[in-house]
Structure 1
Amino acid sequence: MKVRPAQRFEAGALTELALASKAHWGYDEAFLAACRDELTMHPADMDRRRTTVAEEDGRVLGFTTLDGAPPEGALGMMFVASGALGRGIGRFLFEHTITEARRLGFVRLTIDADPNAEPFYLAMGAVRIGATPSGSIPGRELPLLEVGLTSH
Structure 2
Amino acid sequence: MTDPVLRPARSGEGPLLSALALRSKGHWGYSAAFLESVRLELTVHEDRLEGVTVAEVDGQVAGFSRLTQDGERAELHALFVDPPWIGTGVGGALLTAALRQARARGVREVGLDADPGAEPFYARFGAVTVGTSPSGSIPGRTLPRMVFSL
* Fold conserved between structures, TM > 0.5: yes
Query: Alpha-carbon deviation of 1:134?
Result: 0.3
Match of 2:48 in 1: 45
CA distance in 1, matches of 2:132, 2:33: 23
What pairs with 1:93-132 in structure 2 (closer than 5 Å)? Answer: 93-132=94-133
Q: Which runs of 5+ in 1 are unaligned?
A: none
Match of 1:67 in 2: 68
TM-score, normalised by the number of residues in structure 2: 0.95
| Percent sequence identity over aligned pairs | 45
**AA in 2 matched with 1:28:** S
**AA in 2 matched with 1:55:** E
CA distance in 1, matches of 2:146, 2:78: 13
What pairs with 1:1-152 in structure 2 (closer than 5 Å)? Answer: 1-47=4-50, 50-149=51-150
**Corresponding residue pairs, total:** 147
Query: Alpha-carbon deviation of 1:46?
Result: 0.3
Query: Alpha-carbon deviation of 1:70?
Result: 2.3
TM-score, normalised by the number of residues in structure 1: 0.94
CA distance in 2, matches of 1:146, 1:8: 30
Query: Alpha-carbon deviation of 1:103?
Result: 1.3
Query: Alpha-carbon deviation of 1:106?
Result: 1.1
